[in-house]
Amino acid sequence: MIEQPTGLYRWLMRLMPLALLYIAFMIAVRFTSWIEWKPAADFSSSAYYQLALLLCLIIALLVGFLVIKRAPGNVCGPLIVYFCMMIVHPPFDTVTNNYLRAIVQFTNQTFGVIAIVLLLIYFPTGKAAVKGIERITLFISALLFLNSMLWIVAAPSLSDGSLIPNELYIAEFASLAPIAASGFPTILSIMLVSAVASFTIRFRRARQYERQQMRWFLAMGSYLIVLLVGWFTIPRMAGGLESTPGLLLRFAGIGINLVPAIGVGIPILTHRLYDIDVIIRRTLQYAILTGILAVIYFGGIILAQQAFRLITGQSSDLAIVISTLLIAALFTPVRRRVQEVIDRRLYRRKYDAEKMLQRFNTTLRDEVNLDELRQALISVVHDTMQPARLALWVRDAHED
Amino acid sequence: MNTRIATSNDTHSHNIGSVAVDGLIAGAGGGIVMVVYLLVAMATLGESPTSVLSRFASGDMQGSIMTGVVGHLAVSSIYGMVFALLGSLVLRGQPKPVRMFAGVFFGIALFVFAEFVLLPAFQSPMLGIPVLHFGIAHVIYGLTLGFLMKLR
pLDDT tens digits, one per residue of A361-381: 777 777 777 777 777 787 777
In Å, how far are A106, A134, A154, A181, A206 from A175, measured between CA atoms? 20, 32, 8, 11, 48
- The pLDDT-based confidence of B9 (bands split at 50, 70, 90) is very low
Is a pLDDT exceeding 90 seen at residue A352?
Answer: no
- Is some CB atom of chain B closer than 8 A to the CB atom of A66? no
In Å, how far are A145, A240, A350, A369, B21 from A382, measured between CA atoms? 58, 56, 14, 20, 35
Nearest residue of B to residue A304 by CA position?
B75
Selected residue with higher pLDDT from B131 and B50: B131
pTM, 2 dp: 0.56
What is the number of CB-based contacts under 8 A between chain A and chain B?
72
Is a pLDDT exceeding 60 seen at residue B4?
Answer: no
In angstroms, rounded to a whole number, what is the distance separating the alpha carbons of residues A325 and A327? 6
Angstroms from A25 CA to nearest CA on chain B: 47
| CA A287 to chain centroid | 16
Neighboring chain B residues of A360 at a CB cutoff of 8 Å? 1
Write the pLDDT tens digit of every residue in A141-175: 888 888 888 888 887 776 555 566 777 778 888 88
How large is the average pLDDT for residues B48-66? Answer: 72
How large is the average pLDDT for residues B31-54? Answer: 88
Is a pLDDT exceeding 50 seen at residue A258?
Answer: yes
- Is some CB atom of chain B closer than 8 A to the CB atom of A357? yes
Q: In 3D, which of B10, B2, B8, B17 has the Cα closest to residue B88?
A: B17
Q: In 3D, which of A134, A130, A5, A139 has the Cα closest to residue A77?
A: A5
What's the pLDDT at B8? 36
Q: In 3D, which of A138, A13, A17 has the Cα closest to residue A76?
A: A13
What's the pLDDT at B80? 92
Is a pLDDT exceeding 80 seen at residue A13?
Answer: yes
- Residue A343: CB atoms within 10 Å: 19
- Is some CB atom of chain B closer than 8 A to the CB atom of A314? no
Is a pLDDT exceeding 90 seen at residue B135?
Answer: yes
What's the pLDDT at B2? 37
Partners of A354 in the β-ladder? none
Give the dihedral of Cα atoms A250, A187, A143, A263; nearest 10 deg. Answer: 40
- Check: CB of residue B14 under 8 Å from CB of residue B129: no
Helices (H) and strands (E) counted in chain B, each on its own, are 7, 0
- Is some CB atom of chain B closer than 8 A to the CB atom of A300? yes
- Check: CB of residue A134 under 8 Å from CB of residue A140: no
Neighboring chain A residues of B24 at a CB cutoff of 8 Å? 292, 296, 330, 334
Element (H, E) at B84: helix B65-90
What's the pLDDT at A139? 87
What's the pLDDT at B7? 33
Selected residue with higher pLDDT from B8 and B130: B130
CB contact under 8 A, B6 and A306: no
- The pLDDT-based confidence of B137 (bands split at 50, 70, 90) is very high
What's the pLDDT at A29? 84
Angstroms from A330 CA to nearest CA on chain B: 6
What's the pLDDT at B22? 86
Is a pLDDT exceeding 70 seen at residue A36?
Answer: yes
- The pLDDT-based confidence of B3 (bands split at 50, 70, 90) is very low
* Phi, psi dihedrals of residue A39, rounded to the nearest 5°: -55, 155
- The pLDDT-based confidence of B27 (bands split at 50, 70, 90) is very high
How large is the average pLDDT for residues B41-58? Answer: 82
